[in-house]
Structure 1
């Protein structure tokens, strides 16, 4: 688990600052966490989401600074933990169905070669369909996440054109998406009083 991992254009050798842009762009998650914490204004669900976004920041930073296999696993798992918690919070009384359904979808999509994050994009589509009052908000979040996922996916192929790669743009856009979906959940909770 301590093996060196070289997945991105920017990393050309082991070392703490081998991915400067990827490491610094992880700050987008910290900024999102602080903003959600502030927006939550004492709301426990909002504070939980802020803490989980903070976990995404820590995990992403650890991976891009250390470039080890254990950090890579932590990086992927942190975002999936946020997504599973979000599914439970947004489903409220149906969390017992929503969370296992999301996790099951994630496993199936990953086994079919779609990676770990395609299920998040599919989940945003489901939320846009189910929560009609917020469908445009979820559609915007979904479009941004689709763009972020595309930039994450093409990073290695873009090395010749963009030596720093495109992974850092994934961080910036994914940070915005985590903020937006958290804001949507807090707005919905505020409407229920």
Structure 2
């Protein structure tokens, strides 16, 4: 066994609601993940059988599974899986946005991944330097407003702007979770889940609706497009 293998099963007590180990240690944080599942089901139905949009729905479902596992098991490996599921969805969405809204060919749309990372590094570093809580999520927050700017001449821009504002509120609830423990023992992390489910649904539905309604704009990712 690798000498650090045990670290992956280490107990993680990172939220106000959790008082002790156990599958039911965070009931609100666990149940609130259903929001991601509902978003996934709704997007799956809106995909109308199209493979690409359904992959986005599957990404939302993966966030539901990973986050639920983390808040039930409270282990380091589950926390890593939770973060990885979110990161994977964010990067996949960046590519889809480049194709559906910017109309980049698929072979160029993948450049949205390094573009996002180029944005994320200085933003996260700046948030860390300022001591802001939840600094790792500063990049998606800024990115949502960037997407709103990039769609300024598109009818979709209000969705990205609203999603950015809502995500800012959501991030605030995540940041004050431990601060309110004394007055509100359950904490506020469950509100982070619920609002994020709405944010992800809004931006995903917008992309999927455009993708399904204008298949010539997106189409399948092939080598020649």
Per the TM superposition, whether the score is higher than 0.5 is yes
Residue 164 of structure 1: aligned partner? 186
- The yes-or-no answer on 1:67 pairing with 2:74 is yes
Q: Deviations over 1:113-140 (max 9, x none)?
A: 2622211111111110011221111111
Partners of 2:143 and 2:136 lie apart in 1 by 12
Deviation of 1:191 after TM superposition, in Å, equals 4.5
Unaligned runs of at least 5 residues, structure 2: 1-7, 100-104, 216-225
Q: Which residue is 2:141 aligned to?
A: 121
5+ long unaligned stretches in structure 1: none
TM-score by length of 2: 0.81
**Residues 1:100 and 2:133 aligned together:** no
Q: Alpha-carbon deviations, 1:87-115, whole Å to 9, x = none? A: 00110234232111213433443344262
The question of whether the paired residues in 2 share the 8 Å contact of 1:23 and 1:65 is answered with: yes
Q: Which of residues 194, 197, 203 is equivalent to 1:175?
A: 197
- How much has 1:80 moved relative to structure 2? 1.2
RMSD: 1.4
Task: Give the Cα–Cα distance (whole angstroms) in 1 for the partners of residues 118 and 69 of structure 2.
Answer: 27
Match of 1:187 in 2: 209
More helix by share: 1
Give TM-score scaled by structure 1 length. Answer: 0.94
Write the distance in 2 (CA, Å) between the matches of 1:106 and 1:155.
24
Q: How does 1:1-193 map to 2 (within 5 A)?
A: 1-92=8-99, 93=105, 94-112=108-126, 113=128, 115-132=135-152, 133=154, 134-193=156-215
Aligned residues: 193
Which entry has the higher C-alpha Rg, 1 or 2?
2
Contact preservation (8 Å) 1:106, 1:117: no
